[in-house]
Amino acid sequence: MVASATADARTKHKSARAVASTVTTTDDSFECDTCGTVVPFEEARRSETMGNLDPKKWQTLCCPECGNRLKTVFVGGE
Ligand SMILES: [Zn+2]
C-alpha cells in the first residue's frame, strides 16, 4: 500500500509541473484572429479577465489594432 501511495504522489507532482511549463513568457507573441496583426506580448493591451480569476494573476491580452481578445495569460507566479 505504501508503494501505491508514493506512485500517486509522483503522478500529481508531474501534472503540476506540466501546467507550470505552459505559463506565458514575455517573449511570446500572439496573432490576432480578426485582423491578422502579430502582437508581441509587450505591445498587447491588458485588461482584466472575465469571471472570477484573480486580476493580479491573470490578464487578458487584447489586440492594439482592433481590440480583439487574444489570450488570457497567467502573470502571477508565486
Ligand atoms: Zn486585431
Rounded distance from Cα 62 to ligand 1 centre (Å)? 8
50 alpha carbon to ligand 1 midpoint, in Å? 19
CA distance 30 to 51: 22
Does some domain include residue 15? no
Tell me whether residue 21 is in a domain: no
In-domain check, residue 69: yes
Q: How many angstroms separate the alpha carbon of residue 42 from the centre of ligand 1?
A: 15
| Contacts (Cβ under 8 Å, ≥6 apart) of 43 | 64
Q: Which domain holds residue 62?
A: 27-78
pLDDT in tens, 5-15: 555 555 555 54
For residue 4, how far is the Cα from the chain centroid?
A: 33
> 52 to each of 35, 44, 60, 61, how far by Cα in Å?
29, 22, 13, 17
Residue 3 lies in a domain: no
Residue 16, pLDDT score: 46
Give the count of domains, the chain.
Answer: 1
pLDDT digits (tens, 9 = 90+) for 18-74: 444 556 677 789 999 999 999 999 999 998 887 888 888 898 999 999 999 999 988
